[in-house]
């Protein structure tokens, strides 16, 4: 939202008042500073009358983190819901307040905020406590309030019902600074120049809307900002004033945290994870290949069995099979009952799938809506489990499902009822759940069971409660470290309930690029695990797109074949029937899929160790932006067509049928996975790849544990600790790596040439 018309004029539909003065500074317990900021400069007692003031409170949160809260009318109710901050406890802090000729300084470990000494020149600088680095600042006319439509007299706000009231702040952007994150965004990787609204929408991957709006961004200058509200946030990122980043909310308060990481952006993400939470541990089986029925395809038990048998026979075994929406009857979503016409014996079928080894686990699709054709709709209405309109009617519409209602997740009884529905699925053998939708949450003409919540704040926050409920029920049944969901909607904190995928994309190279940008952005927003629809969701991918996407998708943290109205089993992509093959069988969709499934399976010792490290630290496993590994390389902050898997593997997907690809190798030594040829960076590299390879490089200094190429069995949950293969490339004094087992428990670690087993376990590797 823009409040000005260029530099000189105010927008015609707004009245804007700025914090012009710092009239008073009140310290509180060496932990906080409260600034009283009139909206005009005060030179005499008469200047204190008939004007608004803004309260600006700076508080030391923990080392390297300071919060900033701006308030106009402090008597406004503080309605929920609020983010669950510090889920594992708040760290201790030893703050200090000092005064000097430079002003009044609040320090919180490595980060300080200094309020300028001139009362009439509003200024708050954020900098390293040792003054080694300037991060950003709130300067002249950077904090303010606005009315729309514009008021001409303070008396008009006697009745606020016809006015919108906003709070905004604008912090400085440095020359060359770039901004990243803000959730799973599919547009430009660098957000400078963009206007962004943090409001969950089902808009696909080819729009400026996002399923996962996360109020956190990361700056190339070494700091991050977390905006502490699930409400709609409007950002102008160098797009209203080119030198400033503006965030605004409708209401009387705006609170955000500035997070400093002296060692780099990884430290910023770790501190953000302390604030909002880190991902749960995922089991090894979840890293294997997921295959779905696709969305609107016509399938039954025979179809499912045929596909699973075909995948196994073609050496592309499925770890998880997913039943998408039509496992239930049409118009009955979501009543949790298998269609008897298509699946007469679901419990028996699931048991047969597992006993035959065709898939290790089974997942089914759910959403938080109830179509009125389903018997459970009437039950939910009678018990008061659905969201209502202001007049007492059940809130319904015909978008997606006919007459659908929404489960009122603020009602404890409704949550318990929904959990019981899920438990019945577990009773028949379901292991995992795809928590689809959760973005289309009403924010007007709606009344929640808990009337203390603000409907606008509930819009984004619903995704958190929805996924938390499902995740905790999965943990209850299957074990704390065996819970896996596949979520589409998210907000801050939802990273605690892994995992998520990128939503509906087309079957084009442009859509693959969109998906990669989305994965990079969500990774810089605190999410460790991420997936996408291999081959694209909408449309029918041509064979070359399918194969290029397979190579990319099997190097994401999680890998799923999923489509809309067409199947994604490989032989249906480039073969007319099971007996016809492509001109070169080694380049067929089947062969390419089989090769990359086996590659990922071989990488499991590395992936599991990196997954545990990444989730503990709040880092993305894959897709990890190059800038996280090379923050001092300016080029790294603009790379949106390549990524890291963990610390040590660089991947550059191929977007052309011909196989031509250009990518960047950062400083250091790099080993080509396929040719074993070493090369030195920094430099741009051009290569040409057939469908069985893509640029995959091992970083110098790496100790890379691998599973055996000829390991028996198909499962990703195998014992790779018995004499694993270990690659060591250009080792350095600090080179080290952990070895974990298939349960994620540490077995031991390497330090350069030394193997150190964990206590109580022997290993001769």
Establish if 194 belongs to a structural domain: no
Are the C-beta atoms of 693 and 682 separated by less than 8 Å?
Answer: no
Q: Using 50, 70 and 90 to split pLDDT, how confident is the model at 711?
A: low
Q: Are residues 678 and 554 in the same domain?
A: no
Establish if 554 belongs to a structural domain: yes
Are the C-beta atoms of 259 and 267 separated by less than 8 Å?
Answer: no
**Cβ count near 764 (within 10 Å):** 7
Q: Are residues 35 and 155 in the same domain?
A: yes
Can you name the residues that pair with 70 across neighbouring β-strands? 56, 254
Instruction: Give the number of residues written for the chain.
Output: 765
Residue 330 CB contacts under 8 Å (≥ 6 apart), including other chains: none
> Starting at the edge strand that comes first in sequence, how are the strands of the sheet with 500-501 ordered?
530-531, 500-501, 485-487, 432-435, 361-366, 320-323, 289-292, 559-561, 533-534
Above 80 in pLDDT, residue 455?
yes
Establish if 297 belongs to a structural domain: yes
Per-residue pLDDT tens over the stretch 489-509: 999 999 999 999 999 999 999
pLDDT for 11: 97
Can you name the residues that pair with 112 across neighbouring β-strands? 107, 127
Per-residue pLDDT tens over the stretch 529-581: 999 999 999 999 999 999 999 999 999 999 999 999 999 999 999 974 444 45
Domain extent, residue 701, equals 642-757
pLDDT for 584: 87
Q: Are residues 114 and 153 in the same domain?
A: yes
Residue 115 CB contacts under 8 Å (≥ 6 apart), including other chains: 22, 25, 33, 35, 58, 103, 104, 105, 123, 124
According to DSSP, the β-strands at 432-435 and 485-487 are parallel
- 455 alpha-carbon distance from chain centroid: 23
Average pLDDT over all residues of the chain: 95
Are the C-beta atoms of 209 and 203 separated by less than 8 Å?
Answer: yes
CATH number at residue 443: 3.20.20.80
pLDDT for 756: 85
Establish if 269 belongs to a structural domain: yes
Q: Are residues 516 and 585 in the same domain?
A: yes
Phi-psi region of 676 (alpha: psi -120 to 50; beta: other; left: phi over 0): left
Q: Are residues 314 and 335 in the same domain?
A: yes
Q: Mean pLDDT over residues 723-737, rounded?
A: 89
Cα torsion 469, 318, 291, 603 to 10°: value is: 80
Is 312 in a helix, a strand, or coil?
helix
* pTM of this structure: 0.96
**Cβ count near 227 (within 10 Å):** 23
Q: Are residues 609 and 696 in the same domain?
A: no
In this structure, what token pair is assigned to residue 451? 């009337």
Burial of 668 (0-12, 13-18, 19+ CB in 10 A): middle
Q: Of 597, 615, 633, at which residue does a domain stop?
A: 615
Are the C-beta atoms of 241 and 7 separated by less than 8 Å?
Answer: yes
> DSSP secondary structure string, 353-369?
HHHTTS-SEEEEEE-SE
Establish if 722 belongs to a structural domain: yes
Q: Are residues 43 and 165 in the same domain?
A: yes
Q: What is the DSSP letter of 404?
A: B
Q: Are residues 665 and 695 in the same domain?
A: yes
> Starting at the edge strand that comes first in sequence, how are the strands of the sheet with 660-672 ordered?
643-645, 649-651, 696-699, 660-672, 678-688
Establish if 543 belongs to a structural domain: yes
Distance CA 626, CA 633 (A): 9
Distance CA 494, CA 761 (A): 36
Above 50 in pLDDT, residue 764?
no
Element (DSSP H or E) covering residue 703: strand 702-706
Per-residue pLDDT tens over the stretch 38-66: 999 999 999 999 999 999 999 999 999 99
Positions marked active-site: 436, 439, 504
Is 418 in a helix, a strand, or coil?
helix
Q: Of 212, 243, 276, at which residue does a domain stop?
A: 276
Distance CA 47, CA 50 (A): 8
Distance CA 435, CA 323 (A): 12
pLDDT for 578: 45
Short-list 117, 111, 131, 134, CA closest to 58? 111
Distance CA 615, CA 600 (A): 19
Per-residue pLDDT tens over the stretch 653-674: 999 999 999 999 999 999 999 9
Q: What is the DSSP letter of 90?
A: P
Q: Are residues 351 and 459 in the same domain?
A: yes
**Angle at CA of residue 229, ends 228 and 233, nearest 5°:** 110
Above 90 in pLDDT, residue 75?
yes
C-alpha gyration radius of the chain: 27
- 440 alpha-carbon distance from chain centroid: 18
Burial of 709 (0-12, 13-18, 19+ CB in 10 A): exposed
In this structure, what token pair is assigned to residue 357? 């080894």
CATH number at residue 685: 2.60.40.1180
Helical spans, DSSP H, in 570-729: 571-574, 589-602, 604-617, 626-629
Establish if 17 belongs to a structural domain: yes
How many domains does the structure of the chain reveal? 3
Distance CA 410, CA 452 (A): 10
Q: Are residues 261 and 293 in the same domain?
A: no
Per-residue pLDDT tens over the stretch 234-266: 999 999 999 999 999 999 999 999 999 999 999
Q: Are residues 675 and 574 in the same domain?
A: no
Establish if 491 belongs to a structural domain: yes
pLDDT for 257: 98
Distance CA 138, CA 123 (A): 6
Are the C-beta atoms of 731 and 753 separated by less than 8 Å?
Answer: yes
- 600 alpha-carbon distance from chain centroid: 22
Distance CA 684, CA 108 (A): 41
pLDDT for 582: 59
Is 107 in a helix, a strand, or coil?
strand
Per-residue pLDDT tens over the stretch 622-643: 999 999 999 999 999 999 999 9
Q: Are residues 294 and 263 in the same domain?
A: no
Per-residue pLDDT tens over the stretch 400-453: 999 999 999 999 999 999 999 999 999 999 999 999 999 999 999 999 999 999
Q: What is the DSSP letter of 220?
A: T
Above 50 in pLDDT, residue 762?
no
pLDDT for 712: 64
Distance CA 386, CA 378 (A): 10
Short-list 530, 562, 468, 481, CA closest to 284? 481
Read off φ and ψ for residue 116, nearest 5 degrees: -60, 155
Buried-exposed string 35-50: b where 16+ CB fall within 10 A, e elsewhere: bbbbbbebeeeeeeee
Per-residue pLDDT tens over the stretch 133-163: 999 999 999 999 999 999 999 999 999 999 9
CATH number at residue 158: 2.60.40.1760
**Angle at CA of residue 675, ends 672 and 677, nearest 5°:** 60
């Amino acid at each position: 939202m823009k409040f000005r018309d260029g530099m000189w004029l105010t927008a015609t539909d707004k009245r804007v008042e700025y914090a012009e003065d710092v009239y008073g500074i009140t310290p509180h317990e060496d932990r906080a500073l409260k600034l009283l900021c009139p909206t005009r400069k005060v030179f005499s007692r008469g200047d204190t009358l008939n004007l608004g003031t803004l309260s600006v409170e700076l508080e030391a949160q923990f080392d390297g983190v300071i919060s900033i809260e701006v308030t106009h009318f402090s008597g406004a109710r503080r309605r929920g819901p609020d983010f669950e901050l510090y889920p594992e406890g708040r760290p201790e802090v030893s703050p200090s307040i000092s005064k000097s000729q430079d002003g009044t300084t609040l320090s919180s470990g490595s980060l300080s905020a200094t309020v300028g000494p001139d009362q009439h020149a509003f200024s708050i600088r954020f900098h390293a406590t040792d003054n080694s680095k300037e991060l950003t600042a709130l300067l002249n006319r950077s904090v303010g309030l606005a009315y729309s439509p514009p008021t001409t007299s303070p008396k008009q706000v006697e009745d606020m019902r016809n006015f919108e009231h906003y709070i905004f702040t604008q912090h400085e952007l440095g020359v060359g600074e770039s901004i990243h994150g803000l959730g799973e965004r599919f547009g430009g990787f660098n957000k400078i120049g963009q206007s962004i609204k943090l409001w969950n929408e089902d808009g696909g991957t080819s729009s400026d809307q996002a399923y996962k709006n996360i109020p956190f961004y990361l700056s190339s200058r070494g700091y991050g900002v977390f905006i502490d509200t699930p409400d709609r946030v409007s950002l102008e990122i160098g797009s209203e004033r080119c030198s400033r980043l503006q965030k605004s909310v409708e209401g009387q308060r705006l609170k955000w945290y500035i997070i400093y990481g002296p060692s780099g952006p990884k430290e910023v993400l770790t501190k953000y994870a302390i604030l909002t939470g880190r991902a749960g541990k995922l089991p090894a089986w979840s890293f294997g290949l997921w295959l779905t029925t696709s969305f609107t395809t016509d399938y039954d038990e025979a179809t499912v069995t045929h596909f699973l048998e075909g995948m196994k026979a073609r050496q592309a075994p499925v770890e998880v099979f997913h039943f998408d929406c039509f496992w239930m009857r049409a118009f009955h979503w979501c009543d949790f009952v298998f269609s008897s016409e298509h699946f007469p014996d679901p419990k028996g079928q699931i048991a047969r799938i597992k006993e035959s080894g065709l898939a290790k686990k089974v997942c089914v699709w759910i959403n938080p809506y109830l179509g009125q054709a389903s018997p459970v709709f009437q039950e939910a209405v009678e018990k008061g489990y659905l969201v209502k309109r202001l007049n007492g009617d059940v809130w319904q519409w015909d978008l997606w499902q006919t007459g659908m209602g929404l489960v009122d997740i603020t009602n404890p009884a409704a949550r318990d009822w929904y959990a019981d529905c899920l438990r019945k699925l577990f009773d028949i053998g379901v292991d995992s759940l795809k928590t689809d939708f959760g973005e289309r949450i009403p924010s007007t003409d709606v009344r929640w069971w808990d009337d203390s919540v603000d409907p606008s704040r509930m819009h984004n926050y619903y995704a958190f409660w929805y996924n938390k409920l499902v995740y905790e029920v999965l943990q209850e049944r299957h074990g704390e470290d065996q819970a896996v969901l596949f979520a589409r909607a998210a907000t801050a904190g939802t990273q605690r309930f892994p995992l998520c995928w990128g939503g509906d994309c087309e079957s084009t190279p442009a859509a693959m690029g969109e998906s990669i940008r989305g994965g990079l952005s969500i990774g810089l927003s605190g999410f460790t695990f991420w997936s996408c629809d291999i081959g694209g969701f909408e449309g029918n991918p041509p064979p070359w797109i399918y194969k290029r996407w397979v190579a990319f998708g099997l190097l994401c943290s999680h890998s799923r074949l999923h489509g809309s109205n067409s199947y994604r089993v490989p032989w249906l992509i480039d073969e007319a029937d099971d007996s016809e093959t492509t001109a070169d069988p080694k380049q067929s969709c089947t062969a390419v899929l089989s090769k990359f499934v086996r590659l990922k399976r071989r990488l499991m010792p590395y992936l599991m160790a990196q997954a545990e490290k990444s989730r503990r630290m709040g880092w993305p496993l894959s897709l990890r932006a190059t800038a996280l590994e090379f923050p001092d390389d300016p080029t790294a902050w603009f790379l949106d067509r390549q990524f890291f898997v963990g610390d040590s593997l660089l991947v550059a997907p191929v977007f052309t049928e011909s196989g031509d690809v250009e990518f960047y190798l950062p400083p250091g030594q790099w080993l080509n996975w396929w040719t074993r040829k070493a090369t030195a960076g920094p430099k741009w590299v051009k290569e040409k790849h057939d469908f069985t390879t893509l640029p995959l490089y091992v970083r110098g200094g790496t100790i890379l544990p691998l599973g055996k190429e000829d390991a028996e069995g198909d499962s990703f949950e195998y014992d790779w600790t018995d004499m694993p293969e270990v690659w060591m490339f250009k080792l350095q004094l600090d080179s080290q790596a952990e070895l974990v087992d298939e349960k994620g428990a540490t077995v031991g670690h390497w330090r350069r040439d030394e193997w150190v087993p964990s206590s109580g376990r022997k290993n001769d590797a």
